[in-house]
A and B are shown apart, each in its own frame.
Chain A
Amino acid sequence: MKIIKAEEVTFEYIRRDEDGNVEGINRAVDKVSLDVKEGDFICVLGSNGSGKSTFAKHLNSILLPTEGTVWIDGMDSKDEDKLLQIRQTAGMVFQNPDNQIIGQVVDEDVAFGPENMGVPTEQIKERVEESLKTVGMYDFRKKSPNHLSGGQKQRVSIAGVLAMHPKCIVLDEPTAMLDPLGRKEVIRALRALNEVEGITIILITHYMEETVYADRIFVMNKGKIVMDGSPREIFKRVEELEEYKLEVPKITLLAHELRKRGLRIPDCVLTVKELTDALKKC
């Protein structure tokens, strides 16, 4: 079963002058076709302005394609009758945690989603507790979100999405504003959601090292998907990535350089452990 399927999706931002005449058209997403298997951990890479965020907003009908179609768990994103169901299936988390937390107390904030869906009260309580436990924020349930760190706030945002029992979570640079510990906490929470709960994760990021555990990486450039493969396949193509204003993880770069200098290290090492194991055999 494909949880997400996009067929020839194009999206154009149209700029108009004061009289409403078209001034310019900016094609942010250009004929993107892809599908995502349920339960996969997907990363989307691409430079600023490559169309990642615009595309991500198609995955729960925040934006509708100018041309082409997006199916979310078999539902057409343009189908207005299914809008609520689509938003429940694919939840979204944005970059700045301060813009998406509204409750005065952590558990109230997490309850906002299921409350709006009309979930019965006793079930809401259950869902909130369960979601907060999953992201490791249960002990903070009675705290004010103002007193949390960035990583903690971002995990509360994720819990808020989780409480709606989504099949898929789309995250648009959730770690860009976080300190090292906060980033680690968020990535750990996402990996657990994916591995334990089987939730499909679609993570947009500029940090290459966050992508090494992904099942599949898409690279976008100028609105198009230009690379598609496992981290090992993607990070082998060092020069091509640079052309798209990206880079390989530091560890991969180190291994690559050592290999060039004659050490017998396999092609495309991704983690510290792989590098250590390879060096032991040298």
Chain B
Amino acid sequence: MPIIADHLTFVYGAKTPLQTTAVDDISVKIEDGQFIGLIGHTGSGKTTFLQLLSGLIKPSSGTVYINGEDIYAKDFDLHSIRGKVGIVFQYPEHQLFEETVFKDVCFGPKNMGLDQKETELKAYEALKLVGLEDEVFYQSPFDLSGGQKRRVAIAGVLSMKPQVLILDEPTAGLDPAGRKEILGLIEKLCRENKMTIILVSHSMDDVAEYVDRILVINNGKLAIDATPKEVFKHREELEEFGLSLPQVTKAMISIKESGIPVKTDAITVDEAIEEIMRVLY
């Protein structure tokens, strides 16, 4: 189910003094099963772009093709993609509301009109997929830890069996172990369950470590579209955009500037170790 954005543009407050172009002529193709990182400073247009991709707001011009179909065409039934493109919003645990974890996860499939048996089966599968143990199923979601709550919220989206999963800063506010847990889960969904993932993140270290391809958004435009290794070569540009480099890349640059002839394209700790050992050992 490839997604294509075709000259996608969105203008807030058109024809008023506050007119702002939040998404400005973005064209991009996202292939099946890719793990995409979406980065950009606050207000760069990331969230608006995601809303356009998933059919939540109508573009001012341009359109989105999902599986070859124009989702903003007049006769297109937008409802049909709700189950296919799942969105996990920021702080998704704020949307938990049911008495038990299991009931909460049932909400999505039930709304899609599935019968009880099928609903419960989907909910069960989703909860297993995010790695929650049976004993939490009948607890109140509000009694769980931050990382667990977030898993429940993600399971709530997964229970609708989407093929594309969009996550808006899924690790914000979690402790390091919780961050690793959630990112590991997302990686598994991509690699083993072959889902297409679009991950919005403010952590350069995380996108460097996990994703296949990074889209950098600045002022509503798609500024860079490349592999993490390529993207993090654009040091000055990224800084101009209010972004930065992974910590190890910064270290490699400093080490090189001190006169040690290392290459500076390492973006993960493992790559940095290898390169420093190659030169110094």
Which residues of A approach B to under 8 Å, CB–CB?
A: 46-50, 95, 149-151, 173, 176-184, 206, 208-209, 242, 245-247, 249-251, 253-254, 257-258, 261-263, 272-273, 275-277, 279-280, 282
Contact = CB atoms under 8 A, between A and B. Distances in A.
Q: Report the 8 A-B pairs with minimum CB-CB distance, sorted nearest first.
A: A245-B177, A48-B146, A181-B242, A47-B175, A180-B244, A250-B247, A247-B176, A179-B41
Contacts of A177: 169, 172-173
Contacts of B280: 263, 279, 282
Nearest to B46: A179
Given A250-B248, A254-B251, A272-B250, A176 B172 contact: yes
Interface in B250-269: 250-251, 254-255, 257-260, 269
B139 interface: no
Contacts of B281: 261-263
A246 B177 CA distance: 6
B175 A48 contact: yes
27 contacts: A47-B177, A48-B174, A177-B173, A179-B41, A179-B202, A180-B41, A180-B242, A180-B243, A181-B242, A183-B202, A206-B173, A206-B174, A206-B176, A245-B178, A246-B175, A246-B177, A250-B247, A254-B269, A257-B273, A261-B277, A261-B281, A275-B254, A276-B258, A277-B258, A279-B255, A279-B276, A280-B258
Nearest to A149: B42
Interface string B126-142: 00000000000000000
A250 B172 contact: no
Interface residues of B, number: 40
A257 B147 CA distance: 28
Contact of A257 (B145, B242, B269): B269
A236 B173 CA distance: 25
B269 A250 contact: yes
Given A178-B42, A209-B247, A246-B175, A258 B276 contact: yes
